[in-house]
Every structure is written in C-alpha cells, then in structure tokens.
Homo-oligomer: A and B are copies of this chain.
Amino acid sequence: MSDPASLPSAWLRDNCRCARCRDPRNGQKLFQITDLPRDLAVSTQSRTTVDGAPGWEVVWEPDGHVSAYTEAWIAGTQDPGLAAADAGDDRTEDAKTLWTAADLAGAVPAADWSDYLRDPDTRLRTLEAVARLGFAVLRGVPVREGQVTEVARTFGFVRETNYGRIFEVRVEETPNNLAFTSERIGPHTDNPYRDPVPTLQLLHCLVNSAEGGDSGLVDGFTAAALLRAEDPAAFDVLTRTPVPFSFADATTRLSAHRPTVGTDAHGRIREIRFNNRSTGTLRLPAAGIEAFYAAYRSFAEILLRPGLRLDFRLTPGDCLIFDNTRLLHARTAFASSGGRHLQGCYADLDGLFSTIAVLHHDRPGGAGTDPRRGAAA
C-alpha cells in the first residue's frame, strides 16, 4: 500500500479534494497549477478517516495546506489493471471489440425503439454497442420526416453542416454528392474533408422498395490492424501521411489534411479517414507519393475482403447509428425507378459516451446511488 510521501508531490496535491481546492458544487478545481508552490513536499502524514473510510491526512510544506485522501482512492490510482480499464481513452482500438462479418452473424446489435425509450438497460446496451462495436440498429422508429434528429436527441446533439441538420439520401436532380444518386458506393467514411469530422452518423430508413440499395459496414479498425500485422511499413505510411481531402460546390469549399489512420501517442488506432471520392492531389516527393499509393491500395484491398463486410438491408423504421471515425459504410446500386429514401444526420461521440456514463452512474448499484462515490465525481 502506497503512502502519500512515496507519491509524486505535484500530482498528489493537484488531486486534493478539499473544498478550497475543488468547488463542491461541480467538482471543478479552483486553482491553477502555477498557484501551487514549486517545492511542494509532504511535511507530515497520518492515518485518519475520510468520509467514513480509512485514509491519510497530509500536511504540505511550505504552505501548510491540509489534504485528505482515502486509501481506496490512492490504491485505485496505483493499480495498473484498474488504470487501464477505468482511465483509458475510450476512443482507441484498446477500448473496442474489433469484428469481421462472421463475428456478427446472427448477432447484429439491435433494439426496438419503444424498448429503447422505456428501458434504461436497453438504452445502455444499444449505446454501448455503438461504443464497442461501432454501430447499432434501432427498429420500429416512427417513419416520419425529421425523426432522425429525435433519435440523435436521445443521446446527444445534431452536428449541423453545409448539408443541413438533416440530409436526404435519395436520388436528386443535381446532386452535389454521389450519395444523392443511385450509384453503388464503396466502403468509405463521411466528410473526411471536415476537421473536426462528424464522429457519428445516423441513417433512418423511410422508404426502401428499390431493387438494390443494400447496406454494408466494414470495421476500419479491424482492417487497419490487419494491415499493421501484414505490412507494418505500409501501416506506418498511412499514419504519417496527411492526405488532402476536399469538397466544393456553389456555396461550400471544405478541405482538411489528415492521415488515413489516426493514432494516439502510443501508436494505437484511433481514427480512420477513407474516401477516394474526395481525396485531392497529394503533393510530396515522388518516393513519398509511391509509398503512400502502395500503402493506400493495400489498405483499400483489405477493406474489400469479403469476410470483413457485414451486409444487411435497411427497411422502413430502421435507424442505423454508427461511429464515423471507425466504421466504413457502403451501399449497392439501386434502380432509381424504385423508391429509396433515407434521412441522415451527424452527431458526436462525446454526447453518446456521456449518456452511457450517466446511465451507468444512475443505475441501481451505480456510483450515483452511493453518496460517497457520487460526491467524489
């Protein structure tokens, strides 16, 4: 068991939970790191009881400030296993269950809309599927215009863009995007030319009586992990080469320079951008261009492996919610004489993860029902 004097001083003091250091109303820290003395050290430490639990009282030098920590809190910060599960970045591959189509045979994450609204556990299970697998389908969502934003409202906020709060996925007379035609569209992520990219997409099916127009999803994290295993140098090229993505119509001219595979500081996969439709002109010395195109093609070929793609058909009332930083979506061509009409909107993962955390916190036995743990939030 670690005692306070054995822990890094600035870190321990920065985590002081007294009412002078943290606003008891909202848990926010009330000081800047520069408000702390430079030469902080534990002057005395003694065992005490904190909120009814065993803990330590610390008197600091040089300023005489007094802090108290429960043993459980200290132990929690020192347990590497708990740190990985509890404090990790929920956006990297380590927090995900990577899948291929076979893994989801008969197990597509889905819920009935009325159950989802009524039952917090169904809501939690559905949103956790989006967090962990990258998607979920709600069935029986009322078939009415604008309903897709009501779905977004259940866990977050619509991200409005130049396509509107809602975009209509159907055949348009003068499409400003291939999505608004009846063409086949290969696996891609949306809006790579936008930074920040919309991190979630919702597609609500209102009509799908056309021949064709089936949907497909590919786990881009699985594909990137395969590339890393099979050709580490190519993976590395895709993480290091910013790609110029662009989009232009009469009123909008967007561009972003981001790598195909975004990684965190530890090299973990965190974000995929893949959309040849809007890939602009790469400007690099010839050797860099050749290395990029070889790696890009290898990744594109992995994305097309039949085992990776989960195929399904959206029927009226289905609403697909998916992580646009991870999953690629696709559709088959359809006969434009038949009707096919989806309404889509973008949203963001921050709200979805917040809703998951609140549902966990508020459920029976969750931290929200335990006054001691709730107060430490």
Contact = CB atoms under 8 A, between A and B. Distances in A.
A12 to B, nearest CB: 9
B300 A33 contact: yes
A373 to B, nearest CB: 12
Given A14-B293, A158-B160, A254-B354, A26 B249 contact: yes
A278 interface: yes
Contacts of A91: 195, 257
**In the complex this chain forms, how many copies of it are found?**
2
B29 A277 contact: yes
Interface in A188-218: 194-197, 199
A276 B26 contact: no
Contacts of A31: 276
A162 B377 CA distance: 17
A284 to B, nearest CB: 8
Contacts of A349: 195
A242 B289 contact: no
Nearest to A26: B176
Interface stretch (A3-11, A101-109, A331-339): A3-11
Interface string A247-283: 1110111111101000011000000000011111111
- Chain A interface size, as a band, is 35 or more
A281 B157 CA distance: 28
Contact of A196 (B196, B265, B280): B196
Interface in A28-73: 28-34, 38
B286 A253 contact: no
Contacts of A304: 34
Contact of A28 (B33, B174, B178, B253): B178
A38 B255 CA distance: 28
Given A8-B290, A358-B252, A377-B248, A279 B350 contact: no
A186 B29 CA distance: 12
A114 interface: no
A159 interface: yes
B7 A286 contact: yes
A350 B157 CA distance: 18
Given A14-B279, A254-B353, 10 more contacts: A7-B286, A10-B293, A28-B177, A29-B277, A83-B283, A87-B280, A89-B257, A90-B255, A161-B351, A254-B357
What are the 7 closest A-B residue pairs judged by CB atoms, nearest first?
A196-B196, A253-B357, A89-B257, A10-B293, A83-B283, A157-B160, A28-B277
6 contacts: A7-B286, A14-B293, A33-B293, A89-B257, A195-B349, A196-B199
